[in-house]
Structure 1
Amino acid sequence: MSDFSLGDMVQIPYKSGIYIGEIIEDRNEKFLVKTLAVVKHPMQGDLHHPKQVENVLFHERKALSQFEKVNVLKDVVTRYAGPDLDYGESLKNAVEQYSDKLKRKDTAYNQEALRALASVEKSYYHGKYYENGTHHNK
């Protein structure tokens, strides 16, 4: 039995990223969660062969979009009681934290991950969250 209710704010892991969201539907073993903020940006590369660059398909992974809905197993959902976060600012912070982490060590994986992260970051800045480096919501 879950101690969560519809409308509760939760933190969820999803495909190597971590997000803040709102429970909008109970689906038996899963919750449908609406994404509201990004805590940790998803890893770049092949999740089945982490930190490898040779003989793997190196994926560019974007963070979940604002208000994107995802099904998440109930046993990985935790309550979120922190401050309300702005999606655009949280995304920017998550990208910066991941980039800083990758820059600390010069490896082939980190170089390729930084390239991939820069590519997905361009789509964020040219999308609805940032324009010319200035944040705005729509």
Structure 2
Amino acid sequence: MSSFQLGDHVIAEYKTGVYYGEVVEMSSTMKAAVRILAVKEHPTQGDLHNPMDPSVAFFHQRRALSYQEIALMPISTIRSYAGAIPDYQVSLERALMAQISKLSEMEAWARRSLQELSQLQKEYFPKSN
């Protein structure tokens, strides 16, 4: 298990988001408090227990952790980071736009897949159409 020091820059996962941060407290051998400095990957929306299901009872809207917010994170989700920390606002916009782009691509892929499957359905079962 890695041992972190106060002030170490890290990349840390919190729920479904990934952040650049700084270790501010080692609360135990299992968890560390990390101050958020930038967003690497925006959190995923929806129900974590039913991924990709838009019709769950409660579809969660997940906000990115705020600049300077401190989150208690399992050590297993934290790794050292030696690179430059991007500006929080710039990183938040980049992460949000990447998530939107990814979902838009999935949406386009799903539409195209449905077209192809519809064509195959006509070929497989010509008398049903």
Q: Does 2:5 match 1:5?
A: yes
The residue identity in structure 2 corresponding to 1:19 is Y
| Aligned mates of 1:96, 1:68 — CA distance in 2 | 22
The residue identity in structure 1 corresponding to 2:22 is E
Q: Which residue of 1 aligns with 2:38?
A: 37
| Aligned mates of 1:59, 1:36 — CA distance in 2 | 24
Q: Which residue of 1 aligns with 2:76?
A: 75
Q: How does 1:79-118 map to 2 (within 5 A)?
A: 79-106=80-107
Bigger Rg over Cα: 2
Structure 1 unaligned residues grouped into runs of 5+: 108-138
Q: RMSD of the TM alignment (CA)?
A: 1.3
User: Match of 2:107, SS?
Assistant: coil
Per-residue CA deviation, residues 24-79 of structure 1 (Å, 9 max, x unaligned), is 00111210000000000000111111110123311111000000100011122100
User: Match of 1:4, SS?
Assistant: coil
TM-score (norm 1): 0.73
The residue identity in structure 1 corresponding to 2:75 is K
User: Match of 1:11, SS?
Assistant: strand
| Aligned mates of 1:7, 1:58 — CA distance in 2 | 36
| Aligned mates of 2:106, 2:82 — CA distance in 1 | 34
- The percent of aligned pairs where both chains have the same amino acid is 41
Structure having the higher helix fraction is 2
TM-score (norm 2): 0.78
Q: Which residue of 2 aligns with 1:118?
A: none
Structure 2 unaligned residues grouped into runs of 5+: 109-129
Q: Which residue of 1 aligns with 2:117?
A: none
Q: Which residue of 2 aligns with 1:55?
A: 56
Deviation at 1:4, TM superposition (A): 1.4
Q: Which residue of 2 aligns with 1:18?
A: 18
For structure 1, which segment, 31-40 or 47-56, has the greater mean C-alpha deviation from structure 2 after superposition? 47-56
Aligned residue pairs total 107
| Aligned mates of 1:41, 1:4 — CA distance in 2 | 24
